Structures are given as structure tokens and as C-alpha cells.
Amino acid sequence: MDTSKTAGDVTQRATHQLLLINRNFALLWSGQAVSLLGDFVFNTTLVVWIAAVLAQGQAWTPLAVSGIFLAASAPTILFGPLAGVLVDRWDKRLAMFWTSLLQALCVALLLLQVSITTARQIGAVWQLGILYLVVFLVNSCEQIFRPSMTVLIGKIVAQNEQAKAIGLGQVSLSLAMMIGPALAPPILLAFGVHWALLVNMLSFLASASTIFFMRVPQDRQGTTSKEHTDFLAEFREGAHFLFNNQLLRSMLILSMIAWIAGGALAALDIFFATQNLHTTPALYGVLDTALGIGSILGAILASMFSERLGLIRLLWGSVLALGVAMLIYARLTGFGPALILIFLTGIPFATMGVVSGPLLLRATPKELLGRISALFNPLSTVALLLGTATAGYLDSLLSGHFHVTFAGLTFGPVDTIFTGAGLLLLVAGLYAMLSLHRADEADHAS
């Protein structure tokens, strides 16, 4: 027997397990990395396709593009909160497997429709309707998939490795956000929309395949079929637990405030870049790239040191750091310093996401995990939309005539709104630091 070869194989398997925790998580992570990349290619392709092909030169083109985002967000708000009840009833791995196949089928039908006919033959409006329907159905399946994945991670990953698992997921998400939108336009222009749709369909099939090969014991339902008859009662049970658990309630408040601030940034950052940072619109996307790179670094650091530093301390600490960063960003007038600050902001931004998952898993009974995790995303989406709409309204209200000088500093509309968002984050972080003091000590001691 070649002992050196055997030893090498063992070392290779050990290294693989060290990097991706265990076989089940390695399969899950690899499938989701491919799926996320396909999602960003798909979403960006649809936006470019509508703007440059289907609705090119039309007065209603911006409305047609915004319809994609509405179709993607609507299932989160309409079905997301209730989907958790189904997640808690069903086997998580099977739910993820079948929803991935359904998503692949939806995209395959869209691909077939695009291949058979053209927008000119059936009309742009009809074509847009089909696109919106497919986006709506794909994201409806996502309302089952995401909470199921959260619960499944808690099942296949040991507690002390959960932050690392969430961190690896954040890394793949950040990479997909950076690579997918950059790949989509060249693929569309060089090969047509068919190839982008094919990439996304195959990514869903890759997700289903990796989930199929996971070896996870089938879920044992904790309640009888008779107890499952009252759907709304089960939903109320999950909502009651969420709003009466101090840690989960504080996490939800922090998450919603962070997304309100994020909505303000998303709505007005292009105007801040051109008016306050005095740069060109062409460089605006570089800020997002810097945030993505910082998020990758933050996810890696958080997964390495979160257990040692304490998950709760990192939770409120990251919100405080985001508040300070927002306040500093609002006062900047140069693109270079803003680029550095945005990169650094990615670290606490990713940290908040990394530590939230393990905290949710530890604070929630297993039989309620689907319902609790399914409530966070819709409420965060509502907060994001609220932040975006409020910031846009305030800017339109103040734009052109709001200029105030205080303590030697000049405030305009956009930087004032950003300052308010930063102060809101600081208040939220201080609230969490004080309200979770005892839980913080217990978490750090453990």
C-alpha cells in the first residue's frame, strides 16, 4: 500500500472539511454559490434587456424596469411571513430540493417562450407580463427556500461553526454581487438573452443536485397532523415568540433600522457621488465594488473571530460602527476618501449579517425556526422600501433650497438625510448595547 498517497488523501479530505466544515455544508455552499451567481446574472440581464431591447426608446421604459423589482419584492411581503409555517411543517432538505426544481422549471418555460417567439411578434407588453410572472414565481419559491436553508444550517453545522458557515455564505453572496452584474451585459450583447436564461436555469439545477446528494436525516415533525390544521394559529405562535423574545426583538429592530439607512443610501448615493463627492456617474459603480470587497473581508474576519469576541457584542458593535461610518461619509467631499470609507464600511456590514444567523438559531426553539426566520426577511424588505421612499421624498422636498450652516459645517439635502440615517443607527446600536447587556455577558462567557 502507498502510505504516502493514503496520508495525502486523508490530509486533503481534512483540509476540505476544515475549509467547508463538513460534507453536507460543502455541498450546500457550493450549490448556493453557483445559484447566487446565476441569480445576479439573471436579474441584471432582465434589467438590461428591458431597457435596451423590449422597451427601448419608450417613455414608459423606467416603469417597465421598476416592474422587475416590484415582481421580485412582492412575494417577500405577500408570502414571506406565512411561508415559515410551511417550513416548520415540511422536511427542510426536500423543501429546498423541490423549490429549486420549480425555479429551474419556471426559467426553462421562459427560455422556451423566448426561443419560440420574439417580442415583436407578440408585443412588448405581453412579453413583459410573462417576465414579471416568472420573476414573481421564482421569488415566491425563494420564500420557502431561504428559511429552510437557515434551519438546515442549524441542523448540519455545529453551534461553534455556525458563524463560519454564515460567513462563507456572505462571501459567496458578495462575490456573486460583484461578478454577476459585470458578466450579464456582455453575455446578453454577445450571445443574446437565451444564454443568460440558460445560465440561471442550470444554476438552479446545480442547487437541486447538491441538495439531493446531502445526507441529512429526515425531519421528524414535532406536532401532529391535527395540530397542523390551524395555519394562522401557528403563524401567531411564531410572531408572538419573536416579539416577546428580547434578543430576537432587538435583532429585528436593528435589522430594520439598518435597512432603512441602507434604503436611504441606495436611493440617494448616486446624487451624493455627483454633487458632494464631485465625481462622474461612471465612477458611481466603483463604490459598490468597494463595498463588496470590504464585505468579503468582513465576512472572513467575522467568521474567524465572532465566537471569541462574542456574537452579541459584534451585533450592536457593528451597528454602532455603521452609524459612525454614515456620519463621516455624509461630510466627505472627495471620491478617494469616500472609496476607502465605503470599503471599511463593508466590514461591519458583513459582520452584522454573519452574527445574526447564529444568534437567531440559538435563541429560537427548533420547532419555530422556520417561522421566525421567515419573518425577518419580509420586515427587512419593508424597512428597505420605507427607507428608499422616505429618502427620495425628503430629497425632492428639500432639493434646491435647503442649505444650512451649523458649527462651521454646511449641510445640503442629501448629506443631511445621510446624517439623520447615521444618527438613527447610533441610537439603535446604543439601545441594543444597553438592552442586551446581560445576554451580552452570558454570550461572551460561553
d(CA 13, CA 5): 12
Q: Sorting pLDDT into bands at 50, 70 and 90, what band is 308?
A: confident
Instruction: With residue 411 as reference, give the H or E element that holds it.
Output: strand 409-411
Per-residue confidence (pLDDT) for residue 27, from 0 to 100:
94
d(CA 103, CA 243): 32
Does the pLDDT value for residue 10 go beyond 70? no
pLDDT digits (tens, 9 = 90+) for 412-427: 888 999 999 999 999 9
Cell (9 digits) for 58:
419608450
The beta-strand segments (E) located in 168-272 are none
Does the pLDDT value for residue 17 go beyond 60? no
* Proportion of the chain above pLDDT 70, given as a percent: 87
Give me the count of residues in the chain: 446
pTM for this structure? 0.82
Does the pLDDT value for residue 226 go beyond 60? no
Buried b (16+ CB within 10 A) or exposed e, 281-294: eeebeebebbbbbb
Per-residue confidence (pLDDT) for residue 220, from 0 to 100:
59
Cβ atoms of 233 and 356 closer than 8 Å: no
Mean pLDDT for 317-338 is 95
- Name the more confident of 264 and 225: 264
Does the pLDDT value for residue 378 go beyond 60? yes
Per-residue confidence (pLDDT) for residue 14, from 0 to 100:
45
Per-residue confidence (pLDDT) for residue 68, from 0 to 100:
86
Averaged pLDDT score across all residues of the chain: 85
Q: Sorting pLDDT into bands at 50, 70 and 90, what band is 406?
A: low
Name beta bridge partners: 404. 411
Q: Sorting pLDDT into bands at 50, 70 and 90, what band is 36?
A: very high
Query: Among 408, 328, 319, which residue's Cα sits nearest to residue 356?
Result: 319
Cβ atoms of 320 and 444 closer than 8 Å: no
How buried is 18 (Cβ within 10 angstroms: 0-12 exposed, 13-18 middle, 19+ buried)?
Answer: exposed
pLDDT digits (tens, 9 = 90+) for 164-181: 999 999 899 888 888 888
pLDDT digits (tens, 9 = 90+) for 143-155: 999 999 999 999 9
Does the pLDDT value for residue 78 go beyond 50? yes
Query: Among 378, 243, 264, which residue's Cα sits nearest to residue 322?
Result: 264
Lowest mean pLDDT among 51-60, 164-173, 253-262: 51-60
Q: Sorting pLDDT into bands at 50, 70 and 90, what band is 213?
A: very high
- Name the more confident of 93 and 309: 93
Lowest mean pLDDT among 124-133, 156-165, 349-358: 124-133
d(CA 228, CA 268): 46
Mean pLDDT for 385-390 is 90
Per-residue confidence (pLDDT) for residue 400, from 0 to 100:
66
pLDDT digits (tens, 9 = 90+) for 432-445: 888 887 665 555 55
* Proportion of the chain above pLDDT 90, given as a percent: 48
Does the pLDDT value for residue 1 go beyond 60? no
Does the pLDDT value for residue 362 go beyond 80? yes
Does the pLDDT value for residue 67 go beyond 90? no
Does the pLDDT value for residue 411 go beyond 60? yes
* Domains detected in the chain: 9-215 (1.20.1250.20), 234-445 (1.20.1250.20)
Q: Compute CA distances 354 → 28, 51, 318, whole Å.
A: 17, 35, 11
d(CA 363, CA 358): 9
Q: Sorting pLDDT into bands at 50, 70 and 90, what band is 104?
A: very high
Sign of CA dihedral 213, 355, 368, 239: negative
Lowest mean pLDDT among 3-17, 171-185, 382-396: 3-17
Does the pLDDT value for residue 6 go beyond 50? no
- Name the more confident of 343 and 44: 343
